[in-house]
Every structure is written in C-alpha cells, then in structure tokens.
Amino acid sequence: MEPAQLTSGHGWGWIKQGYALFMKAPLLWIVLIVIAFVSAIAISAVPVVGEPLVSLLMPAVLVGLMSGARDLQRGEELEIAHLFSGFQKHTSQLVTLGGIALVAQFAIFGVMMIVGGSAIVGILMSHEPVADPAMMAQAIAGAGIAMLLGMALFSILMMAMQYAPMLVYFRGMAPVAALKLSLRAFIANLGAMMVYGLTFFALALLASLPMMLGWIVLLPLMFTSIYISYCEIFPEIIEVAVAKDDTFTASGDHSNF
C-alpha cells in the first residue's frame, strides 16, 4: 500500500473538514477529550509506572478517538464508548506501538547525552519546573548540537507515529510496518503537512487568547483534522468502508475529499 501524494493546499482542507466533523457533535468531542486528558494526568501521577503506562496506552486511546471520527463521518453517533475502542481490537499491537515509541524516546535522550546534552536531558526528564532561568539558559547553551540532534530525531519519531496507530487499527498492519509507512506518508506530503502545521500554529496562538478558551475547540479539531488527513492519504480505508456499508454511495462518501 502506497500513500497518496497530495498538494500543499490539502493541509488547509484538512482543518476545514476536521472542523465540519467536530461540529457534528461538538459537546461530545469536548467531553471525550476532557476524559482522555484527565485520565492521562491521573495515570501520570502514579509514581514510577504512571508516565510509561500513559505512553504505552496512548496509541489505543488515539485510535478510539479516530474510530469515533470514522463512525461520525459515516453518519453514526459519536459515543463515550468510542474512547475504549482501541482496547477491543488490535490492543496488543497498539500497546507494542506505544512501547516502541517509549523506547525510542529514551534512546533519543541517550544519544543527546552522548553528544554533550546531559544537563538539558536531566532537566527534560525531571518534569519539574526550573527555578533558576540562568541554569536553564546555561544548559541550552552547552547543548547546541544535542538540541539540534534531539529535535531532528524526535521529528522523525513524530512523523512515524502520525498515522501508525490508525494503520494498525484500521488496516491491521504490524507496528513496525505501520511506523515505516507513516513516515513515508509524512515525507511524501511534506508540503501539505507544513501548511497544516503553520495554520494550526496560528490557530493555537488565537486559541490562547483570552485565557486559553479557544483550546476547547482546537484540541478536538486536532484529532478530527488528523483523521481527515489519514482518509485522504490512505483512501483505501474509505473504499472498504463504502463497500461494507450499503447506506453510503461512493459519490456521497468522497464528496468530503
């Protein structure tokens, strides 16, 4: 399966269509996101095992939201139960995907430490606010190469994880194969991704004023727009959905794309 290569303009289209999908059930989207984030914060608070556990479970939670987006797009109801869809199918593969991402994060931190970024890695892994800004500035100044290398490696990891959970859940792919395909899809659509990212950054600035209230809409929009981008880059999943559901016509389903 090869990802579609789209023009840069699709990046803005993903946001528009994602917003339309959000508006089909705005209150439920907000409730789902709140439940997911509050649960993640609560689990993270558990000493030692909390944060690694969140990383392991994150792909399963993500595909639950994507499953809700798919059903909503098909004309079905969005439900709280969608949040747990990732724990009902391909769960072990999704947890494996989370484990790979977790190991990769530690490996990147290790590489950063090797090239002289021990101080900045220590600050990042402590998850504690830095009381002395001068200490933070000194750590950054002494870790120029480590910071650049870390940013590059984390960017690659982010690209590989962008669509991997959905490829595992919707297409039944193995975790490593899904990571490779997601990375290829991101690179093949770099122009659209840049437009999407820059637009989202501008929206994030607007959402932060006043009092971060705009994030109530922007967070659900992030998930719905990513789902829309997945559908356009991997259109085969839409064709399969249409074939299995005679309540849809091919023309009706593709009108959003």
What's the distance, CA 24 to chain centroid? 21
User: What end-to-end distance do the CA atoms of the chain give, in Å?
Assistant: 19
Q: Which of 32-41, 65-74, 124-133, 219-228 has the lowest mean pLDDT?
A: 124-133
- What CA dihedral angle connects 140, 144, 145 and 151, to 10 degrees? 60
Question: How do residues 207-219 score in pLDDT, each as one tens digit?
Answer: 888 788 889 999 9
- Nearest partner of 67 among 54, 88, 86, 92, judged by Cα: 86
Query: Cis peptide before 26, with omega less than 30 degrees from 0?
Result: no
Question: How do residues 154-190 score in pLDDT, each as one tens digit?
Answer: 999 999 999 999 999 999 999 999 999 999 999 999 9
Q: Which of 106-120, 122-136, 192-206 has the lowest mean pLDDT?
A: 122-136
Percent of the chain with pLDDT over 70: 85
**Residue 41, CA atoms < 13 Å, CB-side half-sphere:** 6
The H or E element that residue 54 is part of is helix 50-73
Please answer whether residues 66 and 86 qualify as being in contact, where contact means their C-beta atoms are separated by less than 8 angstroms: no
The DSSP 8-state label assigned to residue 235 in this structure reads T
User: Which two tokens mark 5?
Assistant: 């290569």
- Nearest partner of 72 among 62, 82, 59, judged by Cα: 82
- Written as one letter, the residue type at 112 is M
The residue written with tokens 């950063």 in the block is 112
Give the pLDDT mean for 80-102: 95
Sorted by where each begins, the domain ranges of the chain are 10-256
Q: Cβ of 88: how many Cβ atoms within 10 Å?
A: 11
pLDDT at residue number 1: 80
Residue 162 to residue 56: CA distance in whole angstroms:
15
CA dist 134 to 106, 129, 140, 147, 240, Å? 26, 13, 10, 17, 56
Q: How confident is the model at residue 3 (pLDDT cuts 50, 70, 90)?
A: very high
Q: How confident is the model at residue 198 (pLDDT cuts 50, 70, 90)?
A: very high
249 has pLDDT over 50: no
